[in-house]
Amino acid sequence: MNHVSSSTPNNGAATGAFFMIAASLAFAGSNLLQSALPTPVEYGGYGMSSTGMAFWQYVIASLLALPLILRIGLGNLRTSHPVAHQIRAFVSALGVHVFVYGFATGVPIWQMVTLLATGPLFIILGSTLFLGERASAVRIGAALVGFVGAIIVSGVGAESLSSAALIPIVAAALWATTDVLTKYLSKRGERPETLTISLLVLVTPNHLLILIAVWALGGVAPGLLPAGLADNVFALPGGTALALLVLLGALTAAAQYLLAIAYKAADATYLQPFGDLKVPLSGLLGWVILSQVPGDLFWAGAALILAASLFILWAETDRRPKLSVA
């Protein structure tokens, strides 16, 4: 998920595009590792708890992101809306846990990342219902096209469809809620620096909160949660799995650094298509390395979702706040 707000400089389009593509590669690598680490050993994975993986991933990423946090400045944590910031960080962390749980259930990378592209459609819905933004014909039409694409990619009507295919859509809705809350706070005068650093600082404690809640619920009502979700949540793996977990955290932090540089160099509207490259890149890595071959209708559904998102970006003016991280 993109955590860093955008800027609109006079030049630097090529620089911005380069670093956004690099960020897309980092996200694609993260998705590959998020798929491999929680996959059961008997299926070629490492059997790590998805809950524990998400927590340790962000512990490592937060430590590596300390220079970025210090550059923005802890003084920017001062806010008149602490509850809204906390809810925003919690929902963002919960989206990560839902997302990686999808990998643990066996949803392939190509399906996970493509269905995440439904996020802008949920942002439109949330902004219209809760922020009073006008739902234009362009927005409604794009939302319907993207929804059709999501249905195609999810495999509705196919014999192999499982409820797990809906997990990435839930994650997309949660992360869209984070973006709607960001808009809400921006409308109330919160500075971009505060919006960025509050999420960077609060997200890892919220991952710990979710981990403890899952662990406690698994102990009190062991049959309530899906099998394996609450098992060994605090355990760190060893050997190759530990090295891959550290790499996952490093890629997560690297993606945030690269996004910060990209958004400092160019406008978010211009950069978004380059950010969407993480969808085919993730699918390609899953295909080549994990032998997860996309379904027959994947390309058609993915094209509809991405076309809907890009059309919204083309037709609507992006008004995200500016942020300087220098």
Distance, CA of 99 to CA of 23 (rounded, Å): 19
* Backbone region of residue 232 per phi and psi (left: phi > 0; alpha: psi in -120 to 50; beta: other values): left
Residue 225 in domain: yes
Contacts of 312 (CB under 8 A, 6+ apart): 120, 124, 138, 139, 142
Q: Amino acid letter at 229?
A: L
| Averaged pLDDT, 137-166 | 71
Q: Considering its fold, how many domains does the chain have in total?
A: 1
Residue 291 has pLDDT above 60, yes or no: yes
pLDDT in tens, 294-314: 877 777 887 887 787 677 667
Residue 89 has pLDDT above 80, yes or no: yes
Query: Which pLDDT band, with edges at 50, 70 and 90, does 323 fall under?
Result: very low
Residue 7 in domain: no
Task: Break the chain down into helix, strand, coil percent, rounded to 5.
Answer: 70, 0, 30
Res 39: pLDDT: 78
Residue 3 in domain: no
Residue 30 in domain: yes
CA-based nearest residue to 4, from 207, 269, 255, 313 = 255
Res 52: pLDDT: 92
306 or 316: which leads in pLDDT:
306
| Averaged pLDDT, 222-228 | 76
- Which of the residue ranges 179-183, 242-246, 297-301, 305-309 would you say has the lowest mean pLDDT? 305-309
pLDDT in tens, 27-72: 999 999 999 998 776 666 788 889 999 999 999 999 998 998 898 8
What are phi and psi for residue 159, nearest 5 degrees?
-65, -30
Residue 320 in domain: no
Residue 142: domain span: 13-315
Q: What is the mean pLDDT of the chain?
A: 82
CB atoms within 10 A of CB 319: 10
Helix axes 109-116, 278-290, angle to 10 degrees: 170
Residue 38 in domain: yes
Residue 325 in domain: no
Share of the chain above pLDDT 90, in %: 32
Res 9: pLDDT: 42
Res 320: pLDDT: 44
CB atoms within 10 A of CB 193: 19
